[in-house]
Amino acid sequence: MAIYDLTKTPADSYDTHTHLNDDKLFHDVPAYIGRAHEFRVMEMNIVGYDAQGNERALEIAQAYDNIYAVLGFQPEDTAEFDAAAAEKLEEQLQQQQVVGVGETGLDYYWDTVPRDVQVSAFKKHLALAKKYDLPVIIHNRDAFDDVYAILKESGVTKGVMHSFSGTPEQAMAFVELGMHISFSGVVTFKKAEDVRDAAKAVPLDRILVETDAPYLTPTPFRGRDNEPALVKYIVDSLAETLSLSATEVADATRKNAHRLFLNHE
């Protein structure tokens, strides 16, 4: 049974953070990309999280037009980010298809890797982002104060707060550092009033959309794996929250992504 209503997809979208490199999706990348295109999700960033994820992100980006790679080690995998891994990452960041560094950051919720290890890796990723003038994609869970302080100290002024789930005040603190705020399926969740309030606080030219597929599947499909085609439900939720049309939100977030990742309107 089809889950899509194509008549309600009025404009092209850019999924700025998806994991077609994840085991749950990597087995059938062409199908997921094809379905995304049917649903007018015409561009996407495949975001790395560990060594294998980075390799797969590059592989996908090199095989398809309008698909780009973002490479890094997520906090939960920073125990693997040794000197050799850092050297390899720096080599990969110089590939033509790479448009960002990440995901990187801090995760104090799972706390599976010592915090000092996470912090060290985060700082190294920020240094690489600055060296190669690439936007940084930041994972921040239960670590606002440390993420904010480290980011501010780094001097990095362009990037994304990935799958934002904080307060309006926290969102604006990051906006003032130069960050974009990316909204995922969380914005569709019934109890996510803080996230919707944050969306109202953030200037439209700093908002992005993402699926974080296969995770954070939007309402009404929670409980199944997410995929890029479902960007529509995030766009629709933001449109309702911001009292805009879905076309306006899709157009604005696509143009924001173009400026940030591709250096054009």
Within its chain, how far is the Cα of 254 from the centroid? 13
Q: How many CA atoms lie within 13 A of 247 on its CB side?
A: 2
Provide the phi-psi class of 112: left if phi over 0, else alpha when psi is between -120 and 50, else beta: alpha
Topology at the third CATH level for domain 11-262: TIM Barrel (3.20.20)
Q: How confident is the model at residue 4 (pLDDT cuts 50, 70, 90)?
A: low
> Per residue in 201-245, pLDDT tens?
999 999 999 999 999 999 999 999 999 999 999 999 999 999 999
Its pTM surpasses 0.85? yes
Alpha helices by DSSP H, listed for 2-77, are 23-26, 29-38, 51-63
SS (H, E, C) 97-152: CEEEEEEEEEECCCCCCCHHHHHHHHHHHHHHHHHCCCCEEEEEECCHHHHHHHHH
> Per residue in 75-119, pLDDT tens?
999 999 999 999 999 999 999 999 999 999 999 999 899 999 999
Contact between 233 and 227 (Cβ < 8 Å): no
Contact between 151 and 177 (Cβ < 8 Å): yes
Distance CA 23, CA 2 (A): 24
> Per residue in 116-168, pLDDT tens?
999 999 999 999 999 999 999 999 999 999 999 999 999 999 999 999 999 99
pLDDT at 10: 73
What integer best gives the mean pLDDT of the chain? 95
Q: How confident is the model at residue 1 (pLDDT cuts 50, 70, 90)?
A: very low
> Per residue in 177-202, pLDDT tens?
999 999 999 999 999 999 999 999 99
Whose tokens are 């953070």? That residue is 17
**What share of the chain in percent tops pLDDT 70?**
96
pLDDT at 265: 62
